[in-house]
Amino acid sequence: MFLFETTTSQVSGGFFIIYMYNFDMKQKIVFYNTATRKKEEFKPIKEGKVGIYSCGPTVYWNQHVGNMYAYLFTDILVRTLKYLGFEVKQVMNLTDVGQLTSDADTGEDKMELGAKREGISVWDVAKKYEKQFFESEKLLNINRPDVVCPATEYVKEQIELIQQIEKNGFTYIISDGIYFDSSKFPDYAKFANLRLEEMKDTDRDEISKEKRNPSDFVLWKFSPRNEKRQMEWDSPWGKGFPGWHIECTAMSVKHLGDHFDIHTGGIDHIPVHHTNEIAQGYGAFGHQTANFWIHNGWVVGKNGAKMSKSLGNIFTAQELVEKEIDPLAYRYLFLTTHYRKGLEFTLENLIIISETYAKLRKTVAEWSSGGKINDIYQEKFKEMISNDLALPEVIALVWKLVKDETVLAKDKKATIIDFDKVLGLDLDKKEVKEQIPDEIKKLADDRVLAKAEKNWVEADRLRGEIKNMGYEVEDGKDSYKLKKIK
Ligand SMILES: [Zn+2]
């Protein structure tokens, strides 16, 4: 049953804005809330409207598809809430200052590290990797959040928030900065079930001796005395830069208020970053800023191996394109496991799953349009997405519908395209990525060998043979591309 609700609000000048929701009141929505360690019914603070804050990337290096997992999750979360009739405002930060190589406020600034590595300014590093991040989002059909806020554009808000926390008596100053005194927040350990008595500072340097508690964290770090940083600002406490955690509290509160619905991030954020965000909220406002804390699992390699570019077991979305793999196959792969479980990623698996995904797209493309949505399947779909985003079940439901002979093909198409508002798999698009036949790939590989042996006659002959079979081979630096001749 759909209920149509209308609210009116007066704005200056006497105009009226009318919002319409088709908010399905009967559908109970549950999410797993890390704050309570259980699935809880989700009800927004303001009826019909949801505010979401998502921890975004640190723009100091390429984001690979493992990093992009968190943003696929938030994209599906936002799409789900919109599908269920909510008006959603999503805010995401870009960390372009303040994150050090160690979570314990020590080590090098990641942005400065990127600048040294590439011989360009930190500002250019930020620009370069912001671009790479947004291109990856586009390739993976991730909608851009309503507000994207780089930390460097909110230094004033961060300073004001630290002043508020200071006024409430939660801070102290030592030689390298102003710190949050975690012992002043009685529930500091609760969110992550930390065992504070076992916590020790890993770095036995002067700073850790000055800190009152090992779990205290920096709010504003002073610039080193004899060194000019590329990124530094004046503050009431001295020249320096904000700590990593303060940006998320400052920017979420700025755009969503000091009490909003959902905060997202990867599970790695639970013990430090989000624990500290909660402490900052308590220090500034006396309460938690977010009602729901929802965390996604991690992407790992084969048998749980760490993913890294140097190990060669992970790729950027752009690299998938170079390998002729549709990046949306990775999006499909994401949908096949639950977001809290994370994913074991191998290129071999992705190639296999890309064939399943291509088959689904081809099947839907071949059906005629003009059908209507099947109510029974749509109800099931709503139930599944409302149950903590049970996406693997949704994928099973999609294939069940594909094979269901009691439903007309055009109705199947209408139903699956409706689901795709959440899934984002471009199932309404006609063109299906052509799979290159193995025999063509074999000829192209033979041609690489012939070229290596400087057997140009054979290489040309193979190029001709490939052409006769309808494909064109284009040479890259260390690779080749095959294209179907139109
Ligand atoms: Zn954050």
Please give the distance, rounded to the nearest whole angstrom, from the Cα atom of residue 275 to the centre of ligand 1: 10
Please give the distance, rounded to the nearest whole angstrom, from the Cα atom of residue 263 to the centre of ligand 1: 9
pTM, full prediction: 0.83
**What is the amino acid identity at position 195?**
R
Neighbouring-strand partners of residue 21: 5
How many CB atoms lie under 10 A from the CB of residue 435? 13
Please give the distance, rounded to the nearest whole angstrom, from the Cα atom of residue 30 to the centre of ligand 1: 23
Q: Coil, strand, or helix at residue 245?
A: helix
Question: What is the pLDDT at residue 137?
Answer: 97
Residue 175 contacts residue 206 (beta carbons within 8 Å): yes
Question: What is the pLDDT at residue 204?
Answer: 52
Burial 204-216 (b: 16+ CB within 10 A, else e): eeebbeebebebb
Distance CA 354, CA 326 (A): 7
Neighbouring-strand partners of residue 177: 174, 221
Please give the distance, rounded to the nearest whole angstrom, from the Cα atom of residue 276 to the centre of ligand 1: 10
Please give the distance, rounded to the nearest whole angstrom, from the Cα atom of residue 156 to the centre of ligand 1: 17
Question: What is the pLDDT at residue 19?
Answer: 40
Please give the distance, rounded to the nearest whole angstrom, from the Cα atom of residue 307 to the centre of ligand 1: 22
Residue 182 contacts residue 279 (beta carbons within 8 Å): yes
Please give the distance, rounded to the nearest whole angstrom, from the Cα atom of residue 269 to the centre of ligand 1: 8
Q: Where are the alpha helices (DSSP H) in 90-189?
A: 110-118, 122-139, 155-167
Please give the distance, rounded to the nearest whole angstrom, from the Cα atom of residue 138 to the centre of ligand 1: 22
How many CB atoms lie under 10 A from the CB of residue 378? 14
Question: What is the pLDDT at residue 193?
Answer: 85
Token representation of residue 364: 């839907």
Please give the distance, rounded to the nearest whole angstrom, from the Cα atom of residue 68 to the centre of ligand 1: 15
Neighbouring-strand partners of residue 40: 31
Q: Which residue is it, tokens 């004001």?
A: 160
Q: How large is the C-alpha radius of gyration of the chain?
A: 26
Measured between alpha carbons, how far apart are the two ends of the chain, in Å?
49
**What is the amino acid identity at position 192?**
A
Please give the distance, rounded to the nearest whole angstrom, from the Cα atom of residue 56 to the centre of ligand 1: 7
Going through 3-44 in order, the beta strands assigned E by DSSP cover 3-10, 16-23, 30-33, 38-41
Please give the distance, rounded to the nearest whole angstrom, from the Cα atom of residue 192 to the centre of ligand 1: 15
Question: What is the pLDDT at residue 45?
Answer: 97
* Beta-strand relationship, 87-94 and 49-54: parallel
Please give the distance, rounded to the nearest whole angstrom, from the Cα atom of residue 211 to the centre of ligand 1: 23
Please give the distance, rounded to the nearest whole angstrom, from the Cα atom of residue 12 to the centre of ligand 1: 35
Q: Which residue is it, tokens 């004033």?
A: 156
Question: What is the pLDDT at residue 343?
Answer: 94
Please give the distance, rounded to the nearest whole angstrom, from the Cα atom of residue 394 to the centre of ligand 1: 30
Please give the distance, rounded to the nearest whole angstrom, from the Cα atom of residue 250 to the centre of ligand 1: 10
Please give the distance, rounded to the nearest whole angstrom, from the Cα atom of residue 71 to the centre of ligand 1: 13
What angle (nearest 5°) sits at the alpha carbon of residue 173, between those of residues 171 and 177? 105
The tens place of each residue's pLDDT in the chain, 486 residues long, gives 333 333 333 333 334 444 444 445 567 999 999 999 999 999 999 999 999 999 999 898 899 999 999 999 999 999 999 999 999 999 999 988 867 766 666 667 788 888 888 888 888 989 999 999 999 999 999 999 999 999 999 999 999 999 999 999 999 999 989 999 999 999 998 998 888 777 765 555 666 778 899 899 999 999 888 877 788 899 999 999 999 899 999 999 999 999 999 999 999 999 999 999 999 999 999 999 999 999 999 999 988 888 877 778 889 999 999 999 999 999 999 999 999 999 999 999 999 999 999 999 999 999 999 999 999 999 999 999 999 999 999 999 999 999 999 999 999 999 999 999 999 999 988 665 566 777 888 898 899 889 888 999 999 999 999 998 888 888 876 677 888 776
Please give the distance, rounded to the nearest whole angstrom, from the Cα atom of residue 273 to the centre of ligand 1: 7
Please give the distance, rounded to the nearest whole angstrom, from the Cα atom of residue 210 to the centre of ligand 1: 26
**What is the amino acid identity at position 189?**
A
Please give the distance, rounded to the nearest whole angstrom, from the Cα atom of residue 174 to the centre of ligand 1: 24
* Beta-strand relationship, 49-54 and 260-266: parallel
Please give the distance, rounded to the nearest whole angstrom, from the Cα atom of residue 448 to the centre of ligand 1: 47
Distance CA 213, CA 184 (A): 11
Please give the distance, rounded to the nearest whole angstrom, from the Cα atom of residue 132 to the centre of ligand 1: 20
